[in-house]
Chains A and B, each alone.
Chain A
Amino acid sequence: MESLHPRVRLLWVLSTVIQASVLGVIAYLVDRFAVSLPQTVIIAGWVVLVLLGVAHAIAAHRIWRFDLQDDALFLLRGVVTRTDTSVPYVRVQHVDTTRGPVERAIGLASVVVYTAGTRGADITIPGLRPERATELRERLRDLANESEATDAV
């Protein structure tokens, strides 16, 4: 079982900070133009959200695991509701690597695996070094090709 790059926590915390700040700005605007909100509440809310985000990021990183097993890609994740997902290689339709702006800034990449299913039709593995992401994508592509199936749909 492979875990994610530790820096993914930074990624998650940063995105929480961004989200909390957006909410903060909205609250500020509401305060300015509509109902007045006490400033301390806004700041406290921001701090609480960020702290929760940090705790969540640490826990999520601790739990996140993935593994290329014999017949399927196996992922284990979820802080509150713990989910493990098995994606049989036979069912992989295509594989992407993606790098969002924040990911690029801290030098990480994600791999997205697509299936023809409806729930969990796209499965993302975040927090990979770019080389590892490329390697994983190619490995998954090869595994999907090897296990060429009868029609999925």
Chain B
Amino acid sequence: MSRLHPRSAVVRIARAALQGGFFGFFGGSLGSGMFDFPWFAVPGLAALGAVVFSGYALARYLRFQYELDGDTLTVESGVFARQSRQIPLGRVQNLDVEQNILNRLLGLAIVRFETAGGSATEATLDAVDEAEVERLRNYVRTHDRDEAAGTAAATSDAVAGTESGRSAHADLPGATGPSSGHAGDAQADTDRGASHTDSGRGPDGSLLFAFDQRELLTYALVSVRPAAPVLTLASLPLGMDVVWAVLRFNAGLVGASLNGPVVRWLLGSPETSRLAVFAALSIAQFLLLALVVSMALTVIEYHGFRLTQADGDLRYERGLLRRYSGNIPLEKVQSVTIRENVLMRRFGYATLAVETAGYSGGNQQSTQGVAVPLAPREEVYELARDIEPFGDLDFDRSPKRARRRYLARFSLAAAGLTGVAYAVDSLVLETGYWWLAALLFLPVAPAAHLRWRHRGYDLSESVLATRSGFWRRTTRIVPYYRLQTVFVTRSPFQRRRDLATVGADTASSTSLLGGVARVFDIDEDTATELRNTLRERLRVDIAARRSGERSVETVERVGETDERAGETDEPAGGANERTDEPDEWSGEA
């Protein structure tokens, strides 16, 4: 069993002593004020607080022990309530490493192990030194392959076979194919040599993607964060003086004065055009500020982004102030998502996200599971295919009557808003301009068309691909063997037009953000058929994986291209269906 790094103990004890000291100081001051404590109460209690708190921190440090042994991570923790936890390494979904500024100065890092169950991180080592991080990383990464070493010989030809089948990019993961044949010894080396720091440059890793400064700025510009305006607005009160100065300057520009009661000026001003210019100017400045904030956040988050692949694992690094890095085992990937917002589509860029059943990406909101923040579209697709082999996607659209449904829905929304505007205007404002809201009807038809045009699905050989969204188009790639439940929903409005939505659930954690792959508004009968097909393919693919491919799966995921190609040649019933069906689908749509 080993302990966390002593330097981290020093940091924690110092922090605890400070907290305890303050606590005692305030308690003592309060006591002297209210109950006439003697004069030495304040320093005495402060000292006592510091001693107790730092003692507890020391005890916690001493109690916290961890060990990697065989295929288990054991963690002992807790001073009063003691806990002993064992995590089978085969169940580890991601391994994430975080370094804040203090830890970077001290050469320490926080390591988090994520498994599928539970809502919180399963094991947090806060903190260990960098060499230890590398040792843990390599241990977890190689553990699976060591297990499979016995079967490696049998699978090596399968792996070698993939190489010939994958001519496109020899520098990409395909290149790691042959090395996994003798994975056992290659890994053993890195395992012992704990100082093997940057696996990206090591013999067993290849750089997939990195940002230079310009690309980073491009990314920051095109990936506008919806949260940025809110954040900016919330932090405006911090610089109220500056805000007022700017507003006064704006008012001066349009020839008004902000001195005196502002509200009266705003409401009572007869000069609507001046007011409009003033408002427009201020809003434009605000949006510009929000954009700068958004870009700054993105730059801080993604500075120095690198994505490498060391056989069977994706590894990312990023962050300007806090450094994040982590490993995502390819065999744990549940689904792959490609996102392109309007701007990115315009310039041919896309974002790739990889979802596992654990958390990943260090922080759990915006960046969850992002594998490639921004790259040219073709590169993103190429990488996605390396992670989860799929062919060219040919999306089937929903029937035309789905577009009529969107038209009806948007018209209803526009009518509703116009009604509200009319009500508000006639009851409260009395400007007589309520009909301006009717302009909302103008974008209804294009919006309905765009929504319809960007929705679609494709049943390809081994994956289900779905796509939707105009502003932010999301393409989800779900391998059949990762399906969990399949559901078909029909709202009353869909039933009127014989439409249905098919959802394909996986175990990926990002699904909490609405990430279930959905095929929207397809014909009722097609939906039923799609459901049955998905179930059938789940069954067939699982059966195929179980019969003999297990070893390949653990050795090298890339082997799958081959496997699946082989499957279709077999005269099995399931395989035949597979090739026939897509035509059937497109014929119907």
CA–CA, A91 to B334, complex, Å? 14
Say whether B460 faces chain A, with CB atoms less than 8 Å apart: no
A148, chain B: closest CB distance, angstroms: 8
Collect the chain A residues with CB atoms within 8 Å of residue B506's CB. Answer: 117-118
Check if B539 sits within 8 Å of A119, measured CB to CB.
no
Q: Is B507 an interface residue (CB 8 A)?
A: yes
Contacts of B511 in A (CB 8 A): 117-119
Contact check, B334 vs A88: say whether CB atoms are below 8 A apart: no
Q: Is the CB of B484 within 8 A of A152?
A: yes
Find out whether the CB atom of A83 lies under 8 angstroms from the CB atom of B93.
no
Is there a chain A Cβ closer than 8 Å to B431's Cβ?
Answer: no
Contact, CB under 8 Å: A91 / B484: yes
Q: Cβ of B503: which chain A residues have Cβ within 8 Å of it?
A: 119
B575 within 8 A of A: no
Within the assembled complex, what's the spacing in Å between the Cα atoms of A19 and B465? Answer: 42
Are B93's CB and A90's CB within 8 A?
Answer: no
Q: Which of A7-15, A74-82, A98-106 touches B?
A: A74-82
Least CB separation from A149: chain B residue: B542
Interface flags for A107-119 (1: CB within 8 Å of B; 0: not) read 0000000011111
Contacts A117-B507, A119-B516; is A88 near B483 (CB within 8 Å)? yes
Interface residue from B357, B491, B535, B550 paired with A72 (Cβ < 8 Å): B535
Near A by CB (< 8 A), chain B positions 491-515 give 491-492, 495, 503, 505-509, 511-512, 515
Q: Is A123 an interface residue (CB 8 A)?
A: yes
Chain B: which residue is nearest A118 at the CB level?
B511
B334 cross-chain contacts in A, Cβ below 8 A:
153
Q: What chain B residues lie within 8 Å of A150 (beta carbons)?
A: 481, 542, 545-546, 550, 553
Given A86-B485, A150-B546, decide whether A118 and B516 contact each other with a Cβ distance below 8 A: yes
Judged by a CB distance under 8 angstroms, whether B538 is at the interface is yes
Closest to A150 in B: B545
The reply to whether the CB of A120 lies closer than 8 angstroms to some CB of chain B is yes
Q: How large is the interface on B (under 10, 10 to 19, 20 to 34, 35 or more residues)?
A: 35 or more
Do A85 and B546 touch (CB < 8 A)?
Answer: no
Q: Given known contacts A88-B538, A150-B553, is B508 in contact with A118 (CB within 8 Å)?
A: yes
Interface string of B529-572 (1 = CB under 8 A from A): 00100011011001001100010010000000000000000000
B183 to chain A, nearest CB (A): 20
Most chain B beta-carbon contacts within 10 A, residue among A85, A88, A90, A117: A117
B357 close to A116 (CB less than 8 A) = yes
Find A81's partner among B490, B507, B546 (CB 8 Å cutoff).
Answer: B490
Chain B residue numbers with a CB within 8 Å of A142 are none
Residues in chain B near residue A67, CB distance under 8 A: none
Q: A71-B535, A153-B93, A153-B332 are in contact. Are A115 and B484 (CB under 8 A)?
A: yes
B527, closest chain A residue (CB): A84
Alpha-carbon separation in the docked complex, A116 to B356 (Å): 12
Across the two chains, which residue of chain B brings its CB closest to A72? B535
Q: 0/1 per residue, B469-497, Cβ < 8 Å to A?
A: 00000000000010111111111100100
Quick check: is A87 within 8 A (CB to CB) of the other chain? yes
Give the A-B pair count, Cβ closer than 8 A: 97
The docked-state distance in angstroms from the alpha carbon of A123 to that of B505 is: 13
A123 to B487, CA, bound (A): 12
Contacts of A91 in B (CB 8 A): 483-485
Residues of A within 8 A of B17 (CB): none
- Name the residue of chain B whose CB is nearest to the CB of A113: B485
Are B484 and A86 in contact, with the CB atoms below 8 A? no
Q: Does B488 lie within 8 Å of A84, measured CB to CB?
A: yes
In the complex, the chain B residue whose C-beta lies closest to that of A152 is B507
Max count, chain B CB within 10 A of own CB: residue among A72, A86, A87 = A86
Interface pair A82/B515, CB less than 8 Å apart: no
Candidates A83, A85, A86, A118; contact of B509 at CB < 8 Å? A118
Do B485 and A117 touch (CB < 8 A)?
yes
Could you tell me the distance between the alpha carbons of A82 and B501 in the complex, rounded to whole angstroms?
A: 10
Does B542 lie within 8 Å of A119, measured CB to CB?
A: no
Q: Are B487 and A86 in contact (CB under 8 A)?
A: yes
Interfacial chain A residues near B330, Cβ < 8 Å: none
A116-B116, A117-B506 are contacts. A149–B485 as well, Cβ < 8 Å?
Answer: no
Contacts A118-B508, A123-B485; is A90 near B542 (CB within 8 Å)? yes
- Residues of B within 8 Å of A153, CB to CB, are 91, 93, 116, 332, 334, 357, 507
Identity of the chain B residue whose Cβ is nearest the Cβ of A75 in the assembled complex: B487
* A81-B489, A84-B488 known; A149 vs B546 contact (CB < 8 Å): yes
Residues of A within 8 A of B536 (CB): 71
Known contacts: A118-B507, A153-B507. The answer to whether A80 contacts B492 by CB under 8 A is yes
Contact B539 A88 (CB under 8 A): yes
Q: Which of A90, A150, A153 has the most CB of B within 10 A?
A: A153
Considering residues B93, B505, B538, which has the most beta carbons from chain A within 10 angstroms of its beta carbon? B505
Q: How far does the alpha carbon of A86 sit from the alpha carbon of B527 in the complex, in Å?
A: 13
Q: How far is the CA of A71 from the CA of B536 in the complex (A)?
A: 8
Contact partners of A71 in chain B: CB under 8 A: 535-536, 538-539
| Cβ contacts under 8 Å, B516 to chain A | 118-119
Rounded to whole angstroms, the CA-CA distance of A123 and B485 in the bound complex is 10
Determine which residue in A84, A87, A115, A121 has the highest number of CB atoms from chain B within 10 A of its CB, and name it. Answer: A84
* Pairwise interchain contact A116-B484, C-beta atoms closer than 8 A: yes
Nearest chain A residue, comparing its CB with the CB of B546: A150
Tell me the A108-153 residues at the B interface (CB within 8 Å).
115-121, 123, 149-150, 152-153
Give every chain B residue within 8 A of A117 (Cβ-Cβ).
Answer: 484-485, 505-507, 511
Residue of A nearest to B356 (CB): A153
Contact residues in A for B93 (Cβ distance below 8 Å): 153
A residues near B531, Cβ cutoff 8 Å:
84, 86
A85 touches B485 (CB 8 A): yes
Contacts of A72 in B (CB 8 A): 486, 535
Per-residue CB contact flags for chain B residues 86-98 toward chain A (1 = under 8 Å, else 0) read 0000010100000
Docked CA distance A99–B539 (Å)? 33
In the assembled complex, how far is the CB of residue B167 from the closest CB belonging to chain A, in whole angstroms? 29
Residues from chain A with a CB closer than 8 A to the CB of B492 are 80-81
The 7 closest A-B pairs by CB, nearest first: A117-B484, A118-B511, A117-B505, A153-B116, A153-B357, A116-B507, A85-B487
Excluding A71-B539, A86-B486, 10 further A-B contacts by CB distance (< 8 Å) are A81-B490, A88-B484, A91-B483, A116-B116, A117-B511, A118-B506, A119-B487, A149-B546, A150-B550, A153-B93
List 20 interface pairs A-B (beta carbons < 8 Å), by A numbering: A71-B536, A80-B491, A81-B489, A81-B492, A82-B489, A83-B487, A83-B488, A83-B490, A86-B531, A86-B535, A88-B539, A115-B505, A116-B116, A116-B357, A117-B505, A118-B509, A118-B512, A150-B553, A153-B116, A153-B507
